[in-house]
Structure 1
Amino acid sequence: MKFLAISGSARRASTNTAMLYALQSVAGSMLEISVYDRLGELPVFSPDLELDPPLAVSALAKAIAEADGLILASPEYIRSIPGGLKNAIDWLVSRNEVIGKPIVLAHASHRGNDMLHQLRIILATLSDRFNEDLFLRIPLMKLSPDEVAAHLSAPRHQEEMRRFLDDFANYCAPAVRLP
């Protein structure tokens, strides 16, 4: 089973991106997780370019099409969705790759509920397979990169991440087409 984990942050030392890479590292042999941390490479959405999208948009759409499920992790910027993530969603909204795709959220902060509420509404509109009940939250805000790594490698969080991935894999299983 293949998951695409999309970071909603353009920041290099993003705690949300670090959490997605930690999920990748705890995935069992039955799961393949690719982390997409290049939202900053997407051009600003323009409906005029939808029929012949830029290469970066086509690459993201292809990665989504090849995934059995999507995991989104995003920070909150001024109580809202970061512009880069909203831009990516705008590029995807009229495409077929995300329709019916299982989607869940992860979050690396103890706060951000306003953004999460907005994102849940958008994702429920984007895909009828968005599961708001499957949610991973590990507070990492204001930790140094070394502290983030130590926190994510703690046995308690490793088990929490494995359980989240197992639950998501079980949720995705009915949607996966067997050969």
Structure 2
Amino acid sequence: MNNIRILAVSGSLREKSYNTALINAVAKLAPNDIEVLVFDDMNSIPLFNPDRENENISAVTNLKKALKKSNGLLISSPEYAHGISGVLKNALDWLVSGDEFPYIPVALANTSPRASHAQTALREVISTMSGVIIENASITVALLGTELDENGIINNSEISQHIIEKLNIFKTHITNNDSTPMD
């Protein structure tokens, strides 16, 4: 396996979200042998209802297809009331009964030093869904309280090097463990 594809998801709908800025920067900083696809339609995913799982809901279908075509998943989530964002939990709920998520390598991105409760909750959800968290590929960048946007992240050599290093670690794990996309 030479090239890999990583699906990146932000758990924030906020226009100036640090989480979204981070995953957009990750996509632009990715080395040539790593494609990072940003899923940017979280706001179109309806509230999860098991009665609707067999419906063709465009945003849900697109999320499932993108995940199925990926070797790994990068999730960046804010912390709301000591938990993960509702929009992220909702998207994950839509993936629970499918075959796209189990055993997918997952890297977590954290943009706040105060997001420990959300990270713990997210780890629990991912483990329950049989995702495989790759701790040493997870990205921690303290952006809270800074004015850094996507371009600021890209232009900060320390942060951009950290991101590239973590992407390469993720690629090595994926390559060594044959995380071939299902589709």
TM category, shorter? over 0.9
CA RMSD of aligned residues (A): 1.7
What's the TM-score once normalised by structure 1's chain length? 0.92
Q: Distance in 2 between matches of 1:48 and 1:61?
A: 17
Give the letter for the 1:82 counterpart. S
Instruction: Return the alpha-carbon distance in structure 1 between the equivalents of residues 45 and 87 of structure 2.
Output: 8
Matched, 1:126 2:114: no
C-alpha separation between the residues in 2 aligned to 1:128 and 1:21?
23
- In structure 2, runs of 5+ residues without a counterpart are none
Is the 2:6–2:35 contact (alpha carbons within 8 Å) kept by the matching residues of 1? yes
Asked if the contact 2:153–2:160 (Cα under 8 Å) also holds between the matched residues in 1, the reply is: no
Give the gaps of 5 or more residues in structure 1.
none
Query: Residue type matched to 2:171 in 1?
Result: A
Q: Take 1:160 and 1:90, find their aligned partners in 2: how far apart are those partners?
A: 31
User: Match of 1:37?
Assistant: 40
**Compared CA separation, residues 76 and 113, structure 1 to 2 (3 A):** same
Match of 1:156 among 155, 158, 179: 158
Aligned residue pairs, count = 177
Match of 1:176 among 172, 175, 179: 179
Task: Tell me, yes or no, if the aligned pair for 1:10 and 1:38 is still in contact at 8 Å.
Answer: no
Report what 2:99 is aligned to. 96
CA distance in 1, matches of 2:137, 2:35: 19
Distance in 2 (alpha carbons) for counterparts of 1:122 and 1:21: 24
How far 1:151 moved relative to its partner?
4.4
2 CA distance for matches of 1:53 and 1:8? 23
Question: How far off is 1:162 after superposition?
Answer: 0.6
Deviation at 1:152, TM superposition (A): 4.2
Question: Partners of 1:177 and 1:122 in 2: how far apart?
Answer: 23
Task: Give percent identity, aligned residues only.
Answer: 32
Distance 2:180 2:131 in 1: 17
